[in-house]
Amino acid sequence: MKNSLKNIYDFISDHLYFYRPDLEISGEKYNSTLLFSLLTAILQGKQLIVGEPGLGKTTSAEYICSVFYQIPLGTIWLSEIAGHPEQTEEKIVGRPNLGLLNKGIESVVWSNFVQLPVKIVDEINRLPETKQSIILDGVDRGNWEYLNEMFINDEYCLFATANYQDLGTFTIIAPMLDRFDVMVESKHPGANISYLIGPFYKKDELLRHERYEKELNKLLNSRLPYKTKMERTEKVCEKFGKYLKKKGLKPVSKEERKAIQDQMEKLELDLDANAYLRTLISELSFCYKYGQKRANEKCEEGCHFTGYLCHSIKNCISNRFPISIRVYAQALAWLLGEKQVNIEHIKTVAPYALSHRLQWKEEFVATHEKEVRVDPLPIYLAKVAVDRVLERYGEQRESIKEALAIGYSVSQGEEIALLEGDHPIYWEIKRDLGEL
């Protein structure tokens, strides 16, 4: 199954999405957008893709979704939502069945966006802040509500794209940002690769199939019960999968997708990955003075913990962060054929899971924004932060693990002194054991 995913990755990189590698893991080079998009598709995650216009943000998501879920590109295009100020709930989620409404029956016609397991919101930051709330719950849980009806997706992944700020964009609200597991940038591939894209302008044809697109559209617009509709949809998708197989792809069936997810979930974090993640979270949530970080509370002048990340950020990291980092690190470890999630997997995923969730203080931004880099500032700052915590963890990894081990013994009733240390993780252990 790993080979199937690698085959998808290679197929897309060879035929559809041209890039420069910008990520190295275990000696192998990857493109962060493509790699994370693949992981998002497997995990049924939520990914925000940012970048300049025309650099493949939407198309990369479309290709991944099409290949991974065996859905023809035309059907995916039909289900996409475009962000713009006039967008309405009726176009995004569903609308009343007007025919039935005339007969006094209230019934909802769900949009293709809601029904399909792959969801793409193009230019999400062109949706005004108030309208972003329409998709908040759906993005988070896959629950879509309209009138008195609810539609629940049992399988779905979501991709949203965003251009950098211009006259037509709005701010993506913090609760929306937090719901994205990862944020990546679709980068310019460089002059030489860009030059080669020209002859491939008809590359979309590879993933088009008019007949299956029509069949799927008919099914999605039918009044069949959801379960039946999805079963029939899956059958059409399987036929499209066979078609893709002839093109050199080895598609992944729904059962295989489930099996892959089960295998990924079973991968445990090794002790270093576990302790490092705790160390990272402690720096992003700890406050000695006020109990935890809060966006409306400022750090005290001359605080003892000035050297840690808690002093460089304004907000507190959410509980969605450890979930995102864990599942993506598990997926990455699985893809690389590892038996456990190690610190390298956590370190690789962390900046992409953090960059959109952190609000940095001006001093931290000012210190780093002019440094030489290849990533957009939020991802770069997150990488700097992750490296710093890794450095601190490296210096005291044995002590931190020992402190956690002692924490276990004390929790079991043993009377031993907790390990003292300067890092917030030691303070958090004390708090959990009621010693502060």
Partner 1 sequence: MKNLFSEFKNFRPKRREIPLDNIITSKEKVMQTLIKSYNKLVEQEAKELVWLVSYHSVIRAYASAEKSIKNMEYGVEDIEEFLFEIEDSSKLPYPIMGLSGIYTAALCNHAKEREIVFDLRNRNITLHLLGYRLPEGKKLLVYGDLGDFTGIGLNGGEIWVEGNTGNWTGAGMKRGKMVIKKNVGRRTGEDMVGGEIYVEGKILGIGNIRYGRVYEKGEIVSL
Is the CB of 405 or the CB of 436 nearer to partner 1?
405
Is the CB of 381 or the CB of 404 nearer to partner 1?
404
Find the shortest distance in angstroms from Cβ 330 to partner 1: 15
Size of the site for partner 1 (CB under 8 A): 16
Residue 292 and residue 431: Cα distance in Å, rounded?
Answer: 11
* Binding track, positions 288-327, relative to partner 1; x by CB under 8 A: ----------------------------------------
Ramachandran assignment for 51, one of left (phi > 0), alpha (psi -120 to 50 degrees), beta (any other): left
Ramachandran assignment for 82, one of left (phi > 0), alpha (psi -120 to 50 degrees), beta (any other): beta
Contact at 8 Å (CB) between 208 and 72? yes
Residue 418 within binding range of partner 1, rule CB under 8 A: no
Stretch that binds partner 1, among 24-32, 55-63, 256-264, 271-279 (CB under 8 A): 271-279
Residue 398 within binding range of partner 1, rule CB under 8 A: yes
Stretch that binds partner 1, among 142-150, 216-224, 240-248, 394-402 (CB under 8 A): 394-402
Residue 408 within binding range of partner 1, rule CB under 8 A: yes
Is the CB of 34 or the CB of 269 nearer to partner 1?
269
Contacts of 14 (CB under 8 A, 6+ apart): none
Stretch that binds partner 1, among 24-32, 64-72, 223-231, 402-410 (CB under 8 A): 402-410
Residue 255 and residue 264: Cα distance in Å, rounded?
Answer: 14
Paired tokens of 297 = 């509370």
Residue 399 within binding range of partner 1, rule CB under 8 A: yes
Residue 271 within binding range of partner 1, rule CB under 8 A: yes
Q: Phi first, then psi: what are they for 433, rounded to 5°?
A: -100, 10
Rg value, the chain, Cα: 23
Cross-strand bridge partners of residue 182: 47
Among 51, 56, 378, 407, the residue binding partner 1 under the rule CB under 8 A is: 407
Residue 424 within binding range of partner 1, rule CB under 8 A: no
Residue 58 and residue 63: Cα distance in Å, rounded?
Answer: 9
Is the CB of 182 or the CB of 429 nearer to partner 1?
429
Among 46, 131, 357, 401, the residue binding partner 1 under the rule CB under 8 A is: 401
Residue 391 within binding range of partner 1, rule CB under 8 A: no
Among 411, 420, 422, 435, the residue binding partner 1 under the rule CB under 8 A is: 411
Helix/strand/coil for 122 = strand
* Binding track, positions 14-53, relative to partner 1; x by CB under 8 A: ----------------------------------------
Cross-strand bridge partners of residue 152: 143
Please give the full DSSP string across 346-361, using - where no structure is assigned.
Answer: HHHHHHHHHTTT--B-
Stretch that binds partner 1, among 91-99, 157-165, 327-335, 407-415 (CB under 8 A): 407-415
Residue in 233, 82, 45, 258 with CA at minimum distance from that of residue 156: 45
The alpha carbon of residue 265 and the mean position of all alpha carbons in its chain are separated, in whole angstroms, by 16
First to last CA, the chain: 49
Among 114, 310, 404, 425, the residue binding partner 1 under the rule CB under 8 A is: 404
151, containing H or E segment = strand 149-152
Is the CB of 80 or the CB of 270 nearer to partner 1?
270
Residue 305 and residue 310: Cα distance in Å, rounded?
Answer: 8
Which residues contact partner 1 (rule: CB under 8 A)? 269, 271, 274-275, 398-399, 401-402, 404-405, 407-408, 411-412, 429, 432
